[in-house]
């Protein structure tokens, strides 16, 4: 139950407002500003699905080193339309936008600083620090119920927070933001103290970095699949993902980011080992950092066109299995990939199309199984496997690989043991996002 007497807000004067260090303190990470240079659509305009290539400039960022395979954490900004709807629900005297406020809490009868957020305006808190778009959790609904004046609002909110099934179906159907909940239950009362202490923190979104560190000086690239969907079983209002629509907005602004190092998704240190990359959709993202890295290392050896220069290379084979919906629509980076294949930097790209008109449905694991001889050969040469995509796809790839391994089974080792050995030898790498 929300105890309004436990917290109070007070206005503070003379605070210089600097978001980056403030976010650094709140999240305890090395958060740095990166300027958005451009965002380019990678699919034709008419495509329902859209993926963008976002180029970020890292000149102003300090200690911002990364390796192919690492992630970038991005702090999004909530849409002002949702922020405005919440502010409209607050008491007029609390809405004063220029007021920088801080929270104090009552401890043993005396007011003490409550350090969850730095002093800021209510708009900054709602835009930058708090998660106002994910459907409120039952615990938050319970707090809201205790502020409702109307008995119907109280009862419905209590029902939602006590009945798990009811809550889940309401959440799945409406996917309500905090603003939607306040509008659905207009007798609830959210004070600035409530907002600053009870609304969960806005979490960073992670993206697999899509560029090699030295490919373009001071740049980080991301491959971002835009999230948009309609609520109410596809018949309700349209929703946009917070971070993806933020990254899709006009370039020129600073995005606050940090590097998350992924020790488990690194190219083999022995560059002569083969690499099998398997991805679907935006799961191709980290592989762009791999092929850029390979191209750079070849250039450093003066070898820019393996096929035509006929120069021997000590680098292992690199193949890509790429799952897409339709050819020509979802085959992002097609030109880049075919040029790399032409130069012999990539050995081959195997496409799998799941909704190609007039063609049999094929997923990336199906094509992997078709190419089992190649997979067996590259694994026998101590090759590494990299899988990137959602959890369902990653699971299907594991199954497909075990089937392939069964066909190469030796007397000493069955396919499960062989797969376990790949894991133990750190030759099977997964970068899984989404369900």
Which spans of this chain sit near ligand FAD (rule: CB under 6 A)?
Answer: 71, 76, 133, 175, 205-208, 223-225, 227, 229, 241-244, 282, 285, 433
Angle subtended at Cα 393 by Cα 417 and Cα 211, rounded to the nearest 5 degrees:
100
Name the residue nearer to ligand FAD (CB basis): 124 or 223.
223
Name the residue nearer to ligand FAD (CB basis): 167 or 433.
433
Task: Report the nearest approach of ligand FAD to the CB of residue 48 (Å).
Answer: 12
Name the residue nearer to ligand FAD (CB basis): 79 or 119.
79
Task: Report the nearest approach of ligand FAD to the CB of residue 241 (Å).
Answer: 2
Burial class (CB in 10 A: 0-12, 13-18, 19+), 167: middle
Name the residue nearer to ligand FAD (CB basis): 89 or 240.
240
Task: Report the nearest approach of ligand FAD to the CB of residue 154 (Å).
Answer: 27
Q: Which of 119, 418, 172, 393 is nearest to 281 (CA)?
A: 393
Task: Report the nearest approach of ligand FAD to the CB of residue 238 (Å).
Answer: 11
Report yes or no: 343 and 305 within 8 Å, Cβ to Cβ.
yes
Structure-token pair, residue 52:
């963008």
Name the residue nearer to ligand FAD (CB basis): 111 or 229.
229
Task: Report the nearest approach of ligand FAD to the CB of residue 141 (Å).
Answer: 17
Could you give the 3-state DSSP secondary structure of residue 115?
A: coil
Tell me which residue has its CB nearest to ligand FAD.
241
Give Cα 315 distance to the centre of its chain: 31
In angstroms, the CA 41 to CA 247 distance is 12
Could you give the 3-state DSSP secondary structure of residue 416?
A: helix
Report yes or no: 422 and 385 within 8 Å, Cβ to Cβ.
yes
Name the residue nearer to ligand FAD (CB basis): 206 or 350.
206
What are the strands, taking DSSP E only, across 282-377?
318-324, 348-353
Name the residue nearer to ligand FAD (CB basis): 73 or 383.
73
Residue 205's φ and ψ, nearest 5 degrees, are: -105, 140
Task: Report the nearest approach of ligand FAD to the CB of residue 208 (Å).
Answer: 4
Task: Report the nearest approach of ligand FAD to the CB of residue 42 (Å).
Answer: 11
Phi-psi group of 434: left, alpha or beta (phi > 0 → left; psi -120 to 50 → alpha; rest → beta): left
């Amino acid at each position: 139950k929300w105890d309004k007497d436990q917290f109070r807000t007070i206005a503070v004067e003379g605070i210089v407002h600097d978001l980056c260090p403030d976010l650094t303190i709140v999240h305890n990470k090395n958060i740095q500003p990166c300027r958005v240079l451009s965002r380019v659509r990678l699919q034709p305009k008419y495509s329902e699905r859209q993926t963008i290539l976002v180029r970020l400039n890292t000149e102003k960022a300090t200690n911002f080193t990364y390796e192919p395979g690492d992630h970038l954490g991005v702090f999004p900004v909530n849409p002002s339309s949702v922020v405005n709807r919440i502010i409209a629900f607050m008491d007029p005297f609390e809405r004063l936008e220029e007021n920088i406020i801080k929270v104090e809490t009552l401890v043993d009868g005396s007011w003490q600083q409550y350090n969850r957020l730095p002093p800021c305006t209510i708009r900054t808190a709602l835009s930058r620090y708090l998660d106002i778009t994910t459907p409120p959790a039952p615990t938050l609904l319970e707090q809201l119920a205790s502020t409702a004046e109307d008995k119907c609002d109280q009862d419905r909110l209590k029902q939602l927070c006590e009945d798990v099934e009811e809550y889940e179906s309401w959440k799945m159907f409406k996917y309500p933001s905090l603003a939607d909940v306040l509008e659905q239950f207009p007798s609830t009362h959210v004070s600035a103290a409530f907002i600053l202490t009870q609304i969960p923190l806005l979490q960073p979104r992670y993206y697999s970095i899509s560029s090699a560190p030295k490919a373009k000086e001071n740049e980080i690239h991301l491959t971002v699949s835009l999230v948009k969907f309609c609520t109410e079983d596809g018949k309700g209002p349209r929703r946009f993902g917070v971070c993806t629509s933020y990254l899709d907005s006009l370039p020129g602004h600073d995005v606050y980011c940090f590097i998350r190092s992924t020790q488990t998704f690194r190219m083999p240190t022995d560059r002569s080992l083969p690499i099998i990359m398997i991805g679907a959709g935006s799961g191709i993202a980290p592989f762009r950092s791999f092929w850029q890295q390979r191209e750079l290392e070849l250039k450093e050896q003066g070898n820019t066109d393996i096929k035509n220069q006929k120069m021997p290379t000590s680098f292992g084979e690199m193949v890509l299995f790429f799952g897409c919906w339709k050819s020509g629509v979802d085959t992002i980076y097609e030109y880049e990939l075919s040029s790399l294949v032409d130069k012999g930097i990539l050995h081959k790209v195997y496409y799998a199309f799941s909704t190609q008109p007039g063609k049999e449905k094929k997923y990336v694991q199906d094509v992997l199984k078709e190419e089992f001889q190649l997979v067996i050969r590259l694994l026998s040469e101590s090759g590494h496997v990299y899988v990137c995509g959602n959890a369902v796809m990653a699971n299907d790839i594991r199954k497909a690989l075990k089937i392939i391994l069964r066909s190469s089974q030796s007397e000493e080792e069955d396919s499960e043991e062989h797969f376990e050995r790949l894991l133990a030898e750190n030759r099977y790498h997964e970068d899984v996002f989404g369900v």
